[in-house]
Amino acid sequence: MKYEQLAKNIIKNVGGKENVNSLTHCVTRLRFKLKDEKKANTEVLKNMDGIVTVVQSGGQYQVVIGNHVADVYEEVMAVGGFGTASESDETGEKKGIFNSLIDTISGIFAPALGVLAATGMIKGFNALFLALGWLALDSGTYQLLNAIGDCFFYFFPIFLGYTAAKKFKLNHFVGMAIGAALVYPALGGLTVGEPLYTLFQGSIIESPVYITFLGIPVILMNYSSSVIPIILATYVASKVEKVFKKIIPDVVKTFLVPFCTLLVVAPLTFIVVGPIATWAGQLLGAGTVALYELSPILTGIVIGGFWQVFVIFGLHWGLIPVAINNLVTLGYDPVLAMSFAASFAQTGVVLAILFKTKNKKLKGLSLSSVISGIFGVTEPAIYGITLPRKKPFVISCIVASIGGAITGWAGSKVYMVGGLGIFGIPSYINGQTGFDKGFYGAIAAIIIAFILGFVAMYLTKLEDEEVVKEKKNANKDETLVKQEVIGSPLKGKIIPLSEVKDQAFSTGVLGKGVGIEPSEGKVVAPADGVLTTLFPTGHAMGITTENGVEILIHVGMNTVQLEGKYFTPKMKQGDRVKKGDVILEFDKKAIEEEGYPVTTPIVITNSDNYLDVIETDEGNINHKEKLLTVVI
């Protein structure tokens, strides 16, 4: 329940749960797919406490939360009641091929990366213990840890079968069954002995055939840890399943649809989809290495320097499957290695800001960002500190490019999918040779990037650093705390809310604010926003500002009993308003003659969301003059 209110505010400002097609999360972000992104209040979300920023990229509406994203995700799912109904992907909006590709990749890989990294860390530390001589290769401890560390990656097609099926709207267990068939152990034993014959003899895709299916040759491949075959097979299965759903009677769909789908797609995968996808993966791996070997240093500069930019726009998802494919086909990957120093460069820069700044709020944010950055999570640092200040972000990118150049020069490679930050270090240990030049190059890269980032930032002026200003008027305090000034909707005399003759207002149950004894019958918008509520009787209205502040204006006491008499609305519910727009006119004299006081409370109904609501110290006020200051 800790993040319940934040979850409610997020759902409200992404356009309501009816505007949400699907929701997933990664290390720091909630990844929404919205029916209409224009309905989301992006600026309100960006300024909301508990949210770092909002990124719209790759066909996704990404709300960056930070390290506690998993907890917020659970709360949003619970509050929104999201489940299978929210997994619809029909937006009716054309996102383009590139955005669709990034969205598909992230949707398939994001749910699995946490466990993949965790098991990779176990395997990495096991390799470290072996290299240090703490464990023997034939020891039971090593073998058991290796099984735990290798299991997820070895059976990766099964897990990707589930996530890909979820993405392509296929029966999840059909996707897993196809993946399980690909890694079925007994098939590996069929490649022993002399083949029946050889296909494509003399070419680069020469393939021995050991078995046939209904007389059709089957090219048996090693699909353990593979990526592309299961994704393509699941996509094909999603199309095949739709056909069977249309033609098979409802009474037997439960078992006949998966029965028919598996009978068609599984053999098709072994005969056609699997071999083609495997060859494509091998070509992709060879192409990546060929590009890398043209100039490892230059490639490292580009990938290292732009990695954080890729992360901002979610484009790094396009490189992750390439890296995993390289691990499968080559046994190593140089792509992720060249991005390794980026998080340490960012962390070094933020550490310098921590030492330089005199602002307590920025110090606290910097400290938490340094801690998370050491463990490879830099989005809080990027969005909360360096990117808004521009120069620190540029410095971190330049330093990261130097780190990338070092790993390129050293020929650093990752040999397993491991953890982030310092937990990624064991991933650079070569299982065959142990500590080699590539490993030491990766260590040198992160140390140099961290130190250079710190020194470069420490010697650079923090251009937007503000000295805390003390002013005589507490209402004009500018201590770097965000504020929203609410103008007066009325002209008249200000009274404390406690003097309003209505217990719901006077006790503050409805929120903090003031009362006004109006001197004339005109209500204007106190801020830019939306007229979210206008009672049919015209006596009360609610306005939500662009920053999410909710204002209630209630003209008179018990005036609802007038049933709209003497009230003339000038706008309608749902209209956007600008500060000073006339919303309502009322006949003050006639209302009073009917026996109703026109005392008007103005309250902030969501006061609990803010640090404070400060009233003006003026006695009389005119339209639009500062009435309340909401400390955000």
Q: Which pLDDT value is given to residue 449?
A: 95
In this prediction, residues 61-86 reach a mean pLDDT of: 77
Least confident of 51-60, 142-151, 593-602: 51-60
Is-catalytic flag, 26? yes
In this prediction, residues 117-121 reach a mean pLDDT of: 80
Q: Of the candidates 66, 67, 74, 83, which has an alpha carbon nearest to the alpha carbon of residue 2?
A: 74
Residues 350 and 323 in one domain: yes
Report whether 450 contacts 361 (CB < 8 A).
Answer: no
Which of the 8 DSSP states describes residue 502?
-
Q: Of the candidates 142, 328, 330, 167, which has an alpha carbon nearest to the alpha carbon of residue 235?
A: 167
Residues 329 and 199 in one domain: no
Q: What's the CATH code of the domain at 38?
A: 3.30.1360.60
Strand-pairing partners, residue 29, are 64
Which of the 8 DSSP states describes residue 625?
S
Domain span at residue 489 reads 481-631
Residues 50 and 16 in one domain: yes
Q: Which of 458, 493, 510 is the last residue of a domain?
A: 458
Residues 279 and 332 in one domain: no
pLDDT band at 525 (very low <50, low <70, confident <90, very high): very high
The total domain count for the chain is 4
Residues 427 and 337 in one domain: yes
Q: Of the candidates 401, 436, 224, which has an alpha carbon nearest to the alpha carbon of residue 308?
A: 401
Q: Which pLDDT value is given to residue 95?
A: 54
Does 142 fall in a domain?
A: no
Average pLDDT, the chain: 84
Residues 20 and 164 in one domain: no
Does 128 fall in a domain?
A: no
Q: How far apart are CA 538 and CA 413, in angstroms?
A: 69
Give pTM, 2 decimals: 0.55
pLDDT band at 514 (very low <50, low <70, confident <90, very high): very high
Q: Which pLDDT value is given to residue 67?
A: 65
In this prediction, residues 86-97 reach a mean pLDDT of: 49
Residues 304 and 453 in one domain: yes
In this prediction, residues 95-109 reach a mean pLDDT of: 68
Q: Which of 292, 318, 348 is the last residue of a domain?
A: 292
Residue 8 CB neighbours (<10 A): 14
Instruction: Please name the helix (run of DSSP H) or strand (run of DSSP E) that holds residue 613, with its range, or none.
Output: strand 612-615
Does 475 fall in a domain?
A: no
Residues 323 and 450 in one domain: yes
Residues 356 and 243 in one domain: no
Residues 206 and 307 in one domain: no
Percent of the chain having pLDDT more than 90? Answer: 34
The pLDDT of residue 84 is above 60: no
pLDDT band at 614 (very low <50, low <70, confident <90, very high): confident
Q: Which of 69, 93, 117 is the last residue of a domain?
A: 93
The pLDDT of residue 463 is above 60: no
Residues 375 and 306 in one domain: yes
pLDDT tens for 191-248 read: 778 888 888 877 767 888 888 999 899 888 888 888 888 999 999 999 999 999 999 9
In this prediction, residues 555-580 reach a mean pLDDT of: 89
Q: How far apart are CA 583 and CA 571, in angstroms?
A: 5
Residue of 26, 151, 260, 397 marked active site: 26
Residues 573 and 538 in one domain: yes
